[in-house]
């Protein structure tokens, strides 16, 4: 067996190296530390495929009968409609085959993501930006978990609950690890008088900035992220700022903003 020394080498000989070994090679290359957990692909749901088949078969049968009794235009139209669920079933089947070997592996200092036919992607907690489409504020509100991870060199991957099982667990684990690792440096930067930037938003000791406009902390009454947008209550008026999905490391932004809002510099 050939043992690659870099992830790029591993890509060339992946047919001779087990997937688990490729993942641990990437973890070693990225210095991710000890392995903690694995999240496998979401089990394929054949109910959808069967349902599409039943619908397509029913419509096609009606189309054939319609054509047989003389209305060939209507029969052709129904056969065309029957092709839609067939195409949907084929697409789901392709996705199921692609996701069968997908997995997320958590380590002490980062995460690896693998999908069938792709290279193993590695991300360290100290250098990864995480963007999440929706932020859960109450456990009773359903949230679809979709995370985009971006590392140095524009290495990017998107993980979601359609592709990976136990989404709530891996989403919280990734967000918690990135926040815990990067928050101290962000706090230190602000204490040193710097502005920490999160997309279009900036945080400093004196104010929150957005698109060149500055809002002093003494005027900011509340910040939340309901309905997929970050909102700010400013002297009694709500202002919509930016979509949550455009804010890298939202939980770090939120923690810093709350600290600064509650303890403004006098």
Closest CA to 157 of 183, 128, 127: 128
Burial 237-246 (b: 16+ CB within 10 A, else e): eeeebbbbbe
Question: Burial of 250 by CB count in 10 Å (0-12 exposed, 13-18 middle, 19+ buried)?
Answer: buried
CA distance linking residue 208 with residue 205, whole number of Å: 9
Distance between first and last Cα of the chain: 66
What residues of the chain score a pLDDT lower than 50?
1-5, 8-15
| 107 three-state secondary structure | strand
Which stretches of the chain are DSSP H helices? 7-12, 19-30, 46-68, 72-99, 167-191, 250-262
- Compute the chain's Rg from CA coordinates: 25
Given a contact cutoff of 8 angstroms between Cβ atoms, the answer to whether 228 and 243 are in contact is yes
Question: Burial of 123 by CB count in 10 Å (0-12 exposed, 13-18 middle, 19+ buried)?
Answer: buried
Torsion over CA: 31, 37, 42, 43 (sign):
positive
Q: Which residues contact 185 (CB under 8 A, 6 or more apart)?
A: none
Q: What is the pLDDT of residue 54?
A: 75
Q: What is the pLDDT of residue 1?
A: 31
């Amino acid at each position: 067996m050939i043992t690659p020394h870099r992830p790029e080498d591993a890509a060339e000989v992946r047919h001779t190296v087990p997937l688990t070994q490729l993942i641990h090679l990437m973890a070693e290359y990225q210095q991710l530390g000890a392995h903690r957990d694995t999240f496998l692909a979401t089990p394929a749901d054949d109910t959808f495929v069967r349902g599409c088949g039943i619908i397509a078969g029913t419509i096609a049968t009606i189309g054939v009968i319609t054509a047989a009794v003389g209305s060939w235009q209507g029969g052709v139209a129904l056969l065309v409609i029957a092709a839609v669920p067939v195409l949907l079933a084929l697409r789901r089947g392709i996705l199921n085959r692609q996701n069968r070997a997908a997995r997320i592996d958590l380590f002490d200092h980062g995460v690896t993501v693998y999908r069938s036919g792709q290279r193993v992607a590695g991300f360290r907690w100290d250098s990864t930006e995480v963007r999440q489409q929706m932020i859960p504020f109450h456990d009773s509100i359903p949230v679809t978990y979709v995370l985009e991870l971006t590392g140095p060199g524009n290495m990017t991957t998107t993980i979601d609950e359609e592709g990976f099982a136990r989404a709530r667990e891996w989403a919280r684990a990734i967000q918690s690890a990135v926040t815990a690792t990067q928050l101290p440096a962000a706090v230190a930067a602000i204490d040193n008088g710097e502005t920490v930037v999160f997309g279009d938003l900036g945080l400093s000791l004196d104010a929150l900035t957005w698109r060149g406009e500055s809002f002093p902390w003494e005027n900011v009454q509340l910040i939340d992220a309901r309905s997929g947008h970050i909102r700010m209550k400013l002297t009694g008026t709500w202002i919509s700022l930016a979509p949550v999905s455009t804010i890298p490391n939202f939980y770090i932004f939120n923690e810093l903003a709350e600290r600064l809002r509650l303890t403004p510099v006098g």
